[in-house]
Amino acid sequence: MTRLLLNADMGESFGPWKMGLDHEVMPVVDLANVACGFHASDPDTIRATVRLAAAHGVTVGAHPAYPDLVGFGRRAMACSNEEVENLVLYQIGALAALCRAEGARLGYVKPHGALYHAMMHDSETLTAVMQAVKAFDPDLPLMVMATRDPAPARALAAEQGVTLWLEAFADRAYDGEGRLVSRRERGAVHHDPETIVDQARRIASGTALIANDGSDLVLEADTLCVHGDNPESIAAVKAIRQALDELEGGA
């Protein structure tokens, strides 16, 4: 079994306003998706988060978003393809500068929120994001959603010369196409720790999940997203880490 890397969104505080429990999550994960200032964070928070990741040997990834601080980057915006490319490139560059200052290296890119979902539904938006990544560093992997059929995204990545990492979620429900159920729908987010850990195990072992239409869904994934913004979720993340380590040890 290929090792499934755990990733988590980090550095999403803003000035005196605090969000997340980064100090408790960081020691448990492999990858830190660091907000770049457009949906959350500020230069001080970004640099402190990079420093924390480096201290724990965690790979830093850029987490760019639409310029939407008020909506936390979860609102769709009417941006041209050129604007998408430039706003992603701008945010990658800002984070890379702070990584360099801390002796760390930027390891990948994972878009946030509405931008993440837009690129998974629109090939032109995905192309624009890929072009931004390629313009900065063609060796940087781009994290995209693992779906029932990843072939279209892989074909586009091959055309653009970009490496993909497929991402699945332990605490989210999936529809029949292998896409995340909208947060506006009931049951879109799992809260029961046992359900979350079971879903993580299934994804890691290639066992089918049950989509919300009742169909079996097998997701091929390189990384698993976890969230840790309260004591209960921190406990779930630690349980997932233990479960994945046990699976890896028995592989």
Inform me whether the pLDDT recorded for 99 exceeds 70.
yes
At 250, is the pLDDT very low, low, confident or very high (cuts 50, 70, 90)?
low
Inform me whether the pLDDT recorded for 68 exceeds 90.
yes
pLDDT in tens, 138-169: 999 999 999 999 999 999 999 999 999 999 99
Structure letter (DSSP) for residue 139: T
CATH code (residue 85): 3.20.20.370
Confidence at residue 251, expressed as pLDDT on a 0 to 100 scale = 56
Q: For residue 56, what are the domain limits? A: 5-250
Closest CA to 141 of 119, 99, 109, 102: 109
Q: Burial letters for 178-214: b for 16+ Cβ neighbours within 10 Å, e otherwise?
A: bbbbeeeeeebebeebeebbbbbbbbbeeeebebeee
Tally of domains in the chain: 1
Inform me whether the pLDDT recorded for 178 exceeds 70.
yes
Confidence at residue 233, expressed as pLDDT on a 0 to 100 scale = 84
pTM reported for the whole predicted model: 0.94
Pairing of strands 31-35, 164-169: unpaired
At 198, is the pLDDT very low, low, confident or very high (cuts 50, 70, 90)?
very high
